[in-house]
Amino acid sequence: MKTVEDLAGCATDDLVGWTERKDGESTRHSGYLDGFDLSRQDAEAIIMAARVLAGWVEAPTEEVEAEADVETDEAAQG
């Protein structure tokens, strides 16, 4: 991974790794940022920010961000 576009093209699993089950055995595959204690949500946010920087998607509007903040606050309150 050398460019913002490379990062923008990643899936969450590419960054944090994944577990694959085959013939009853689990195999852990490392991600690029394995070992950095990165949550899946953090990885998704990094990828989305790269996609915005690369011009692949538009940055979320303040209204969308405000809705996300309300949802986060409601989830935290239970």
Q: What is the pLDDT along the chain (78 residues), one digit of tens a residue?
A: 899 999 999 999 999 999 999 999 999 999 999 989 999 999 999 999 999 999 999 987 766 556 666 666 666 665
Q: What's the Cα-to-Cα distance from 8 to each of 5, 15, 33, 45, 69, rounded to whole Å?
A: 5, 11, 14, 11, 24
pLDDT tens, position by position, 19-35: 999 999 999 999 999 98
Whether residue 11 contacts residue 51, with contact meaning beta carbons closer than 8 Å, is answered with no
pLDDT at residue 75, rounded to an integer: 65
- What is the DSSP-derived secondary structure letter of residue 29? E
Give the start-end residues of each E strand in 1-74: 18-22, 25-29
